[in-house]
Amino acid sequence: EVQLVESGGGLVQPGGSLRLSCAASGFTFSSSAMSWVRQAPGKGLEWVSTVSGSGMSTYYADSVKGRFTVSRDNSKHTVYLQMNSLRDDDTAEYYCATGLQDYGDLAYWGQGTLVTVSA
Amino acid sequence: QSALTQPASVSGSPGQSITISCSGTSSDVGSYNLVSWYQQHPGKAPKLIIYEVNKRPSGVSNRFSGSQSDNTASLTISGLQAEDEADYYCCSYAGGSTIFVFGTGTKVTVL
């Protein structure tokens, strides 16, 4: 059974940093692209970032480019999202997800971790 | 990359069929057969219900079906049930440095 468990969310001041983690199990982790998707309170889904199975390729939404960094440790079956220079509008539930195929869909989702950016 | 356009809300009575549209561009929906649809109940993570335009993952009801014409994808829910009341999002692969672009979301209400 595929399981994705996010952690690391919390309250942070504007301009601060936070690192999210997503522990994966139940599938061939090193062969699977992993993505982060966020949802601001009462709003829709927004793709944030994707990292390839090897970790060599990374992709970012324009809204986070230059501030967020996605990485992975295949030995630990974990993907990370380092978030710097956080802004009020980064407040959201952050989900990690992976698909039936790379870049085509997001079949499996974690339960989410809440990031609140506020003074 | 702009969000795909969906109607804000769609409603129907139990047993009826409803269709949700998802309008994109020739750079996303129109270029790839990689449209997926997600159902999200309040307080829950999204759930994949359609991938590659019209394929259903194992365990998803055959009351859900997908289609695509040019730059617009559609999700049809037939035999509407109370449990179908939820938010629905389309999503497309967008190529280049943008992997996924989501739709604006549609709230489905079962009358």
Mean pLDDT of A8-31: 97
Mean pLDDT score, B17-45: 95
Round to whole Å and give the CA distance between A49 and A47.
6
Q: Which of A69, A74, A76, A113 is nearest to A91 (CA)?
A: A113
Q: Which residue has the tokens 């970790």?
A: A55
pLDDT of A30 above 80: yes
Question: What are φ and ψ of residue A85, in 5° steps?
Answer: 50, 50
Count of CB pairs separated by less than 8 Å, A with B = 70
A-chain residue closest to B36, CA distance: A105
* % of chain B exceeding 70 in pLDDT: 100
Cβ contact, residue pair B46, A106, below 8 Å:
yes
How sure is the predictor about A119, in pLDDT bands with cuts at 50, 70 and 90?
very high
Got the DSSP string for B11-53? Answer: EE-TT--EEEEEE--TTTTTT-S-EEEEEE-TTS--EEEEBTT
CB within 8 Å: A103 and B45: no
- Please state the rounded mean pLDDT for residues B1-28: 96
Three-class secondary structure of residue B84 per DSSP: helix
Touching check for B52 and chain A: CB below 8 Å?
yes
Q: Output the pLDDT for position B44.
A: 97
| B101 contact A CB<8A | yes
Confidence tier at B1 by pLDDT (50, 70, 90) = confident
Position B98 scores a pLDDT of: 87
**B62-109 pLDDT per residue, tens:** 999 999 999 999 999 999 999 999 999 999 999 888 899 999 999 999
Cβ contact, residue pair A44, B45, below 8 Å: no
Contact criterion met (CB below 8 Å) for A24 and A77: yes
pLDDT over 80 (residue B3): yes
Kindly list the residues from chain A whose CB atom is less than 8 angstroms away from the CB atom of residue B104: 44
